[in-house]
A and B are shown apart, each in its own frame.
Chain A
């Protein structure tokens, strides 16, 4: 069975500071990896995904994540955060094109 661990339930940072949200997974087979973002009172939005190819994937709003197979990690990073990045971020893993297993989420709190 697969599982996802997001060690940090909350990450407070100041605006324009860099941030890293950690995600580790366990699986016995090859996986696909995803990051979702949930703004208050909204659904989850797909932020970025790793299916194959380059291990570094980027989103359109400046986030990036790197798939590290040896460390079974898929950490999310942004070099400079904005107030508008305040949201909950979920890491997810799937074995093929079926169900996703989600982590418990990390709340990113950006303050001025």
Chain B
């Protein structure tokens, strides 16, 4: 089945230790998004790729970076995680800016 896959589902890292979250998709969608969702809050868009074009949200901290080496994969890099970065990270994809399909999320814990 075509889908959006996120690995790992649970990630524990130490304060200040770089961490990378992975998203892959078999939908062949040209847009990939990264959201941060904290408990009982709506998802917050961090950035998205439209094809190879990177679109950063104005309020996304520099600590958060992303790479999209090909259509299928997109990575979220957190350079120096702080306690406030503990959250669920959701990847989503869409064809142009149509319906978004979400992955199961990666829950990040920062110790």
Is B one of A's binding partners? no
* A positions within 8 Å CB-CB of B: none
* B positions within 8 Å CB-CB of A: none
